[in-house]
Structure 1
Amino acid sequence: MAVIAHLRIPANSFELGWILELEASGTIELENMVPLGEKAVPFFSVSDEVRESFEKNVSNHPSVERIVEVTRHNGDRLYSLDWNVSRDVFFQGILDLKGQLLSATGTPNMWEFEIRFPTHEALSEFQEYCSNAHIPLEVGRIYNPVRPGTGMWYGVTKTQRETLMRAVQGGYYSIPRRMSTQDLADDLGVSDQAVTERLRRAIETLTENTLIAMEEELEEEFKPI
């Protein structure tokens, strides 16, 4: 079963931390990491106040082939970084053990990561890998993303999924509402009562097996011994 782990490591303990060197007030959010052949291209956002010095530091790093500004929005800029991931022992370990980067935030001294591993064993292997590589890894919360037995659709049936997705896409939950219950029923070829019941069951099941399941997992983790 997949497991999600919150990890912390010093910024000077891995190659990308060195590359993305920050000023005292700077913060970086790693948005995504896309594997492209033997490379892994990270996308990250940087605030405008540290942009100029950040671009200069990154561009001068020997491991960086290219840095590209993708877009800008509300004082933040999104960049893609073309670099040699094989030189970064930490990220290479994530890729080798089939880890999926969910989020990452960096400050001048510390980076925090949320990573999904396919199994608990894979996470344990990654911890051992970092220990052998002398990477000071601090493991925080560890939890399963869904309840056991619910499958990849969190227990929501195909019919319920189709109804819920059509409702969202059609504007049923928009303000103002762009689709009525009857509109949705006509679109799906069922009664409005059937639509209401499908949505109710889908939302209840989805909430039980994601938000409530995660909350219970956290309560169990922090229960006094």
Structure 2
Amino acid sequence: MSLIAEFSIVSPLMREAEAAPEMVFYTEDIHLTQSGEGKHVFWASGDDFETFESALQADPTTKEYTCLTELDDRRLYRVTYPEDAVQELLYPKAAEHDMVYLDVTTTSEETRFRARIPTLEALKAYRQACEEEGIPFRLHRLYQEEPDEPAERFGLTPAQYEILVRAHEHGYFDQPRCITLEELAEEAEVTSSALGRRLRRALDTLIEQTVRSDAEELNDHFSSERDTT
């Protein structure tokens, strides 16, 4: 069973949050593109969007940004970071040690994370990376995770669960297919080869945890019956 770590850092990115101190930002997704740039998709809540967008425009660590959705009290943004600013995201270091961000909330004071970590050594390596970059790190809570989510019950990572659900909803498994692997990859903003590998791993894990698991239980059951006859 994996561990859940809750910690906070003062990130050198999202400096524009300081320009709009009453606003709060909730991360939806962080990933790297094939070209090495960083993509950050997040909700911004508050009432000072004009100031925030001006700060985004002026921030040298922001290559470009797009407002994807605009509601009454919140907006969904996608920010692109150039390759030389990606290291400050610390996302590559988290991915290197199989850490998965579950919740990321940013205010003008700090960015707070809830992350799934495979080992304590992984968390220590992440903390060391923060220290090397001069980024303050503070651990709030560390506890074991209870497997109550669908992805966890089947042994899938959140990314694997998401791509299986997305492929199913878009008719990838239909005959004929309603969407191609390339179109799925474009929607997820990853390469088709990377998405294909993730999809294959997800299917392999799902079969291992369900079909094969049930078959092994049946084989054990029949073997025990033969032994008693």
What TM-score, normalized to structure 2?
Answer: 0.57
Counterpart for residue 6 of structure 1: 6
- Correspondence for 2:61 among 42, 60, 63: 63
Q: Give, in whole Å, the separation in 2 of the partners of 1:101 and 1:129.
A: 16
Counterpart for residue 75 of structure 1: 73
Counterpart for residue 128 of structure 1: 128
| Pairing 1:43-122 to 2, within 5 Å after superposition | 43-47=41-45, 49-84=47-82, 85-88=85-88, 90-122=90-122
Counterpart for residue 33 of structure 1: 30
Q: 1:52 to 1:71 in 2, by over 3 A?
A: same
CA RMSD of aligned residues (A): 2.8
Q: Helix, strand or coil: the match of 1:15?
A: coil
Q: Helix, strand or coil: the match of 1:108?
A: coil
Q: Give, in whole Å, the separation in 1 of the partners of 2:46 and 2:127.
A: 35
Give the letter aligned to residue 55 of structure 1.
Answer: E
Q: 1:119 to 1:110 in 2, by over 3 A?
A: same
Q: Is the 8 A contact 1:32 1:103 kept in 2?
A: no
Q: Is the 8 A contact 2:27 2:40 kept in 1?
A: yes
Q: Give, in whole Å, the separation in 2 of the partners of 1:89 and 1:45.
A: 17
Q: Give, in whole Å, the separation in 2 of the partners of 1:81 and 1:22.
A: 17
Q: Helix, strand or coil: the match of 2:122?
A: helix
Question: How much does 1:71 deviate?
Answer: 0.8
Q: Is the 8 A contact 1:20 1:58 kept in 2?
A: no
Q: Is the 8 A contact 1:32 1:102 kept in 2?
A: no
Q: Helix, strand or coil: the match of 1:54?
A: helix
Q: Is the 8 A contact 1:34 1:42 kept in 2?
A: yes
Counterpart for residue 16 of structure 1: 13
Q: Give, in whole Å, the separation in 1 of the partners of 2:123 and 2:129.
A: 10
Unmatched 5+ stretches in structure 1: 156-225
Q: Is the 8 A contact 1:6 1:139 kept in 2?
A: yes
Give the letter aligned to residue 33 of structure 1.
Answer: I
Identity of aligned residues (%): 22
Q: Give, in whole Å, the separation in 1 of the partners of 2:65 and 2:88.
A: 17
**Could you list the per-position Cα deviations for residues 26-78 of structure 1 after superposition, in whole angstroms to 9, with x for gaps in the alignment?**
21112221332223311111135111010010111122111001112341100
Unmatched 5+ stretches in structure 2: 156-229
Q: Give, in whole Å, the separation in 2 of the partners of 1:126 and 1:153.
A: 27
**Could you list the per-position Cα deviations for residues 69-122 of structure 1 after superposition, in whole angstroms to 9, with x for gaps in the alignment?**
111234110000011242416344323333222111122112211122232221
What TM-score, normalized to structure 1?
Answer: 0.58
**Could you list the per-position Cα deviations for residues 195-217 of structure 1 after superposition, in whole angstroms to 9, with x for gaps in the alignment?**
xxxxxxxxxxxxxxxxxxxxxxx
Q: Is the 8 A contact 2:104 2:111 kept in 1?
A: yes
Question: How much does 1:133 deviate?
Answer: 3.0
